[in-house]
A and B are shown apart, each in its own frame.
Chain A
């Protein structure tokens, strides 16, 4: 029995607002029934409906609603890639949250018809000294390790930072890249009526389904009603799904594919039909289920992992079933597309109808938009005076190296198989990006993932631009031409004015940078509500960038190669001391967040990028490293540590010159016999340069004139940074 008070109450309990509920009633011309209300609550959730972001995202990428992931072309290959987050699940259950995050992004790439070939991740944690954060850190790294390694996809690069803004809201962003032949890419749009909807993968259980409703679940005495049913990843099923899907997609008659992700069956079927301007019918008795007491709405909303939806022509069923049997996967025809734009769900094929909705009402959650104004915090932060630092450069350097954001990430990446597939041309620790070989060619795909939460907090527009340019510089540093971007926008509560403004500014920055660099944004994801007790995280746009290497014999890394090689600073010559706001040394030493951040000058950056690429192409330089977090001295020190060689020269004398962060700088090393060629070439191209010094033996350490550092000592601090903190206070 449905009376209108009950349905409205149910809608509110499930997270819909009164405005949204009224909108639904208005558009349908009636009240939804109980089952339909569950469908709306999921399809119109922020995660599926993109309510607070759609308006802005449309400006960014006109096809953002369209396919599972975006792609670029290298030769006759399509390189498919996307970044996604699994932040909230990683806070609840670290291992499984991170693991299922990988599963999800891999399936998005797979759904395009591409074989996944590499993973990257950007992880953000709070203060690692806190035991709660240690637990989250361990869990997330183990989860990525356990799942990623078992499915046999290499994790080749990434970044990790630690800042108290993430104390209660860790971020786990994962990026996946896949390769397909251009003409083998698969669509996610239904292409006609009377196509069958085929379910392939693991059985459906109550994973991810929350009990906040009237019709609460029965719980055994060991259950607690507030506990959601956490999604557990099954990497063996995922590996089977990867192989099976790639075989299935070769069959003529397989028209479209969609991963069953958030709100599984509901969102995949409704979106696939809608994108093809069609409707569809589903028969719930056909869905393979894991337990008999699962309710119809739970089947629709379940987030059980490792499931894919294929749209097929009648006649292919036998072939597909054979493949599913080979790979121990379930196979079922659960519905079909229809000409009328309706979304119908039946208990069974000729049975009771549970839902009948206009598909465009179901799929189109409302768009929310604010007129944003600059918050006063922006001006206050900008106006803060950079504090002076009384410590010695030696002491500052050691404190920075001991900080887990700067320390070696070896403890982490040695838990990831970074070589499976034998395509990894650059292993972690030796360059600013990684590169994946396209075997059979001389080409490689260059990959990087970058962010800077302090810049993007202080100035979302310019900060985001800085991050995009940083990503480009990272690719250029290995000799790759940047091609395109994927983005994951991690923000707090979008209903708050300040957050909404941050989001809009970030999108604007992304649009500008992407246009200037000619690197379109081809895919992306949004994660809102990363907040705890009304405190939102710093706005954290994370940028994944893909580039092309035309000749893998020219790939270069950041290691110094030989003593007596000369080291040059190319690009900006003098740190602008007015614009070192957001520098990490200020946060680490004085807990200071403020000041003005340096901004990119697009024209000179583009010329600089072109110049660096030409240097690499001419094989003139032996190493290239982009100067970024930590400033110039840190970049030199980090390079010396990974090269096991020392440095002698001049980097600056004041603390601000040594550690202040500015944009648009590269350090290169070159044989002394070639340095005059470099200087001539730079002069011709009107690129500024300065010789900083030379490479010396490791015993000589790092001598910058005003200060001398012992390399052995710095090595110890750097490599023990994370292990020391983890071992502290451990039982």
Chain B
């Protein structure tokens, strides 16, 4: 089925973070190592960053798809929450 308007590319960044109260073993050990190396570190958190390049006719549609992918597939809601932002291509 041919589309009338050409598809554009939209790039979204999904930042996935651990929910409050959930242990972050990697953050924990990295913090200890950095402190041992004498860096003035207060806290270290390991987040995940996933970039989705979506082909759609407009931003609204693309954004909806990004939200759906993030919440249904990429994120483990028991442990994590996410933030979506659009990245402007160069």
Contact = CB atoms under 8 A, between A and B. Distances in A.
A205 B32 CA distance: 17
Contacts of A615: none
A207 B32 contact: no
B78 interface: yes
Interface in A88-105: 92-93, 96
B21 A207 contact: yes
Interface string A210-249: 0000000001101110010111111111000000000000
A291 B77 CA distance: 21
B22 A232 contact: yes
Nearest to B29: A236
B81 interface: yes
A232 B79 CA distance: 9
Interface residues of B, number: 15
Given A93-B79, A236-B29, A207 B23 contact: yes
Contacts of A219: 20
Contacts of B32: 328
A230 B79 contact: yes
Contacts of B19: 222-223, 227, 229
A92 B78 contact: yes
Contact of B78 (A93, A205, A207): A93
A229 B24 CA distance: 13
A229 B19 CA distance: 9
B25 A227 contact: no
A205 B23 contact: yes
A481 B87 CA distance: 66
Nearest to A207: B23
Given A92-B78, A93-B78, A227-B78, A234 B21 contact: no
Contacts of A235: 25
B3 to A, nearest CB: 23
B52 to A, nearest CB: 15
A219 B32 CA distance: 27
A206 B21 contact: yes
A304 interface: yes
Contacts of B24: 232
B45 interface: no
A96 B21 CA distance: 15
A236 B22 contact: no
B29 A229 contact: no
Q: How large is the interface on A (under 10, 10 to 19, 20 to 34, 35 or more residues)?
A: 20 to 34
A94 to B, nearest CB: 10
B76 interface: yes
B25 A237 contact: yes
B7 interface: no
A227 B19 CA distance: 10
A230 B76 CA distance: 12
A290 interface: yes
A230 B78 contact: yes
B13 to A, nearest CB: 17
A236 B78 contact: no
Nearest to A231: B23
Interface string A298-311: 00000011000000
B29 to A, nearest CB: 6
A234 B25 contact: yes
Contacts of A202: 23
Contacts of B77: 224, 227
A237 B25 CA distance: 8
Interface in B35-79: 76-79
A222 B18 CA distance: 10
A701 B24 CA distance: 54
B28 interface: yes
A205 B24 CA distance: 11
A86 to B, nearest CB: 15
A657 B63 CA distance: 62
A557 B24 CA distance: 44
A207 to B, nearest CB: 6
Contacts of B79: 93, 96, 230, 232
B21 A205 contact: yes
A660 to B, nearest CB: 44
Residue with the highest number of chain A CB atoms closer than 10 Å, among B19, B20, B76, B77: B20
Contacts of A206: 21
Given A93-B79, A96-B79, A328-B32, A236 B21 contact: no
Contacts of B29: 236, 328
Given A222-B19, A232-B24, 11 more contacts: A205-B21, A205-B23, A223-B20, A224-B77, A229-B21, A232-B25, A234-B25, A234-B28, A236-B29, A290-B23, A304-B23
Leading 7 A-B pairs by shortest Cβ distance? A222-B81, A234-B25, A232-B23, A206-B21, A229-B21, A93-B78, A220-B20
19 contacts: A93-B78, A93-B79, A96-B79, A205-B21, A206-B21, A207-B22, A220-B20, A222-B81, A223-B19, A223-B81, A227-B78, A230-B79, A232-B24, A232-B25, A234-B25, A234-B28, A235-B25, A290-B23, A304-B23
Interface of B: 19-25, 28-29, 32, 76-79, 81
